[in-house]
Structure 1
Amino acid sequence: MGHLLDRVYLGAAWIAAFTILAIALLISAQIFLNFSTRALSLPLPSTIPSYADFSGFMLAAATFLAMPYTFRSGGHIRVSLITARLMPRARLVCEIAALAGAAFLTGFAVYFIWVLVAESVHYGDVSNGTIPVPLWIPQSAMGVGMTLLCISAIHSLVETLLRGAPVIAASEEV
Structure 2
Amino acid sequence: MRKLLDGVYIGSGLLSAGLIAAICLLVTGQVLLNLITKFGPFDVNLTIPSYADFAGYMLAASSFLALAYTLTRGGHIRVTMLLNTVPARLRLVSEVACLALGAATAGFASYYMYLLTHESFEFGDMSSGIIAIPLYIPQSVVCAGLVILTGALIDLTVRTVRAGRPMLIQTSTE
Aligned to 1:93: 93
2:80 is the alignment partner of 1:75: no
Distance in 2 of aligned mates of 1:169 and 1:41: 60
Count of paired positions: 172
Match in the other structure for 1:65: 65
Deviations 1:112-132 (A, max 9, x none): 000000010011111110001
In the TM superposition, 1:4-83 aligns within 5 A as 4-42=4-42, 45-83=45-83
Per the TM alignment, residue 44 of structure 1 is displaced from its structure 2 partner at its CA by 6.3
Identify the residue that residue 157 of structure 2 maps to in structure 1: 157
1:58 is matched by which residue type in structure 2? M
> Taking structure 1 as the reference length, what is the TM-score of the superposition?
0.94
Q: Deviations over 1:19-41 (max 9, x none)?
A: 00000000011011111121012
Secondary structure class of the residue paired with 1:38:
helix
Contact 1:73/1:169 (CA < 8 Å) preserved in 2? Answer: no
Of the structure 1 ranges 95-104 and 162-171, higher mean CA displacement relative to structure 2 is found in 162-171
CA RMSD of aligned residues (A): 1.5
CA distance in 2, matches of 1:171, 1:63: 28
- 1:86-132 CA-to-partner distances (Å, cap 9, x unmatched) read 10011000010001100100000000000000010011111110001
| Shift in Å, 1:134 | 0.3
Where do 4+ consecutive residues of structure 1 move more than 6 Å? Answer: none
Contact 2:95 2:169 in 1 (8 A): no
Percent identity for Structure 1 against Structure 2? 44
Q: Which runs of 5+ in 2 are unaligned?
A: none
- Structure-2 residue corresponding to 1:131: 131
Find the aligned partners of 2:45 and 2:169 in 1 and give their Cα distance: 50
Whole-angstrom distance in 2 between the partners of 1:159 and 1:73 = 14
Please, which runs of 5 or more residues in structure 1 have no aligned partner?
none
CA apart distance, 1:165: 1.1
Q: Give the C-alpha shift of residue 169 in structure 1.
A: 5.5
